[in-house]
Structure 1
């Protein structure tokens, strides 16, 4: 691994971390809540069937190959990002 040049603030943070000045805020209750949220997010318990153009399907499959994931996983990820607000329609903001 190469050596990185840190700016002054980054170096101060690293020095403080290495000196043991940081304390974890992860409590057992918080950890349990985060695990439950993650499990709920990742649970895939419903199935849908949709019809799309052959051209769009081929494009999705090619994109999925580039990402190294199955195309169904890519579609599911896109839909999740859209409904959670992290993927937005550019045209909606105009």
Structure 2
């Protein structure tokens, strides 16, 4: 099965395959540095307070229990998907 690449991904592949990409001297240190930056970014969390209707919270907890995950993780996932344009909200 052929993977469909985005336009940006295709540009990256072309850049590399055309020999334009050059390695840097301290690759291992840079990999370590960027790995640490990514870990720090994904581990930063901010507590918020939100008011939900009791019925919505009940249904959310019921679905979370059935899925075997916490309702907070469902909320976090929905917000992440929405902010990264993976899902749309009908407001």
Quickly say closer, same or farther: Cα 1:72–1:30, change in 2 above 3 A.
same
TM-score of the two chains, using structure 1 as the length reference? 0.53
How many residues are treated as equivalent by the alignment? 66
Structure 1 residues without counterparts, runs of 5 or longer: 1-6, 10-26
Correspondence 1:81-92 to 2 at 5 A: 81-89=81-89, 91=90
Offset, 1:52? 0.8
User: Would you identify which runs of 4 or more consecutive aligned residues in structure 1 move more than 4 Å?
Assistant: none
Structure 2 residues without counterparts, runs of 5 or longer: 3-26
Report the Cα distance in structure 1 between the residues aligned to 2:61 and 2:37, rounded to whole angstroms.
32
TM-score of the two chains, using structure 2 as the length reference? 0.55
Report the Cα distance in structure 1 between the residues aligned to 2:69 and 2:47, rounded to whole angstroms.
19
Offset, 1:83? 1.1
Offset, 1:75? 0.9
